[in-house]
Amino acid sequence: MLEKLKDNFKGYFSNGPKAAFIVILFSLCFAVTIINAKKTIVVVIDGKSTQITTFRSNLSKVLRDGNIEISSKDKITPKIEATIQNGDKIFIKRAVDVAVDVDGKKIKIKSAESNISEMLKAEKITLNDKDKISPSKDKVLQNGIKISIIRVAAKIEAKIENLDFETVTKNDNNLEKGITKTIQDGSVGSKTLSFNVSYENGKEISRNLVTETITQNPVTKIVAVGTLGVVNSNRGDKLYYTNNIKVKATAYSSNYSSTGKNPGDYAFGITSTGTRAKRTSSGFSSIAVDPRVIPLGTKVYVQGYGCAIAEDIGGAIKGNSIDVYFDSDSEALNWGVKLISVYILK
């Protein structure tokens, strides 16, 4: 037993240098491993550099060990899941606070994009070609920046307007003066107006007429206006006249004193129109006129005399003058000379 222990002891010491070598080799390998595992990296945060020495290879763990927090909106290059090597540079861009006024809402955003345009794209805020934005889209994002977006829209809008009808009056010598009669009813028309309308955030800011089209023409209203005058005859009849004139009225008879003819003479008592001169209370008596003023055959009402017809002419009857007929010289003389109205009957 003693001999056996002795042999083992001798064997142990005979292998000593070999064991020492193994221990030294292991230590060297461990040291090399430690040296190789040690890394120095540079973390650049918003342009400011910081060195970190680490034995980690996973970027997220390195940053965590370095008490560097990354928010979901921060931008980091390379990606947070990356494996790092000694001497690597890590770039971090911190998200800043951005306020966006758009579509009636005030939105608070955190963004690490480089400018407004990229921020809008990242946040899926789209702009139309005509939309207005302030500041401009190429403005660099800064903490606390306020962005205003005005939605601009243009539409073609149609509007229908009524067209008022005109009222036309026409004199009617078949109606008594002061009486009106609608001959044709009027009706409104319509027109379509097309406008180019601009809106900003839903509020109209301009409206410009583009086209104007008449879709229905109005119908003119036609009204007849009576022009007939009314005079009451000495018989109490209502007589309608188209005109009245002031005349100097004298009187004549068929006798020689007025016509230069005696009973039995050719054309005694015959007017220039071939009728026999007459004075009647129930019909139309004869009068002499100037045909240039009152055409022959015209029926009139002579103030203070009665109804008459222009059947005769006289050498002394010129212009606004008439000669009323009586059956006797005495009646003619009794009439004398008067300034009266003569009504031209319809």
Residues 173 and 228 sit within 8 Å (Cβ to Cβ): yes
Instruction: Give the residue among 187, 184, 185 at the shortest CA–CA distance from 217.
Output: 187
Q: Residue 9 has what pLDDT?
A: 43
Give pLDDT tens digits along the chain (346 positions): 445 544 554 554 455 566 555 655 555 544 444 445 799 999 999 999 999 999 999 999 999 988 999 999 999 999 999 999 999 999 999 999 999 999 999 999 999 999 999 999 999 999 999 999 999 999 999 999 999 999 999 999 999 999 999 999 999 988 999 899 999 999 999 999 999 999 999 999 999 999 999 999 999 999 999 989 999 988 888 999 999 999 999 999 999 999 989 998 989 999 999 999 999 988 999 999 999 999 999 999 999 999 999 999 988 999 999 999 999 999 999 999 999 999 999 9
From CA 129, how far away is CA 14, in angstroms rounded? 91
Instruction: Give the residue among 179, 174, 289 at the shortest CA–CA distance from 242.
Output: 174
From CA 148, how far away is CA 135, in angstroms rounded? 7
Instruction: Using alpha carbons, list the distances in angstroms from residue 173 to 124, 178, 223, 227, 253.
Output: 81, 11, 13, 5, 34
Residues 184 and 220 sit within 8 Å (Cβ to Cβ): yes
**Domains, the chain, with CATH or none:** 39-93 (3.10.20.90), 96-150 (3.10.20), 154-225 (2.20.230.10), 233-345 (2.40.40.10)
From CA 308, how far away is CA 291, in angstroms rounded? 15
pTM for the whole structure: 0.53
What phi and psi values does residue 105 have, to the nearest 5 degrees?
Answer: -120, 150
Residues 185 and 223 sit within 8 Å (Cβ to Cβ): no
From CA 120, how far away is CA 108, in angstroms rounded? 13
For 319-345, write each residue's pLDDT tens digit: 999 999 999 999 999 999 999 999 999
Contacts of 186 (CB under 8 A, 6+ apart): 165, 166, 167, 218, 219, 220, 221
From CA 210, how far away is CA 242, in angstroms rounded? 53
Coil/strand/helix, residue 251? strand
Residue 254 DSSP one-character state = S
Angle at 332 between CA 331 and CA 336, to 5 degrees: 110
Q: Residue 19 has what pLDDT?
A: 59
Both tokens of residue 33?
A: 């491993």
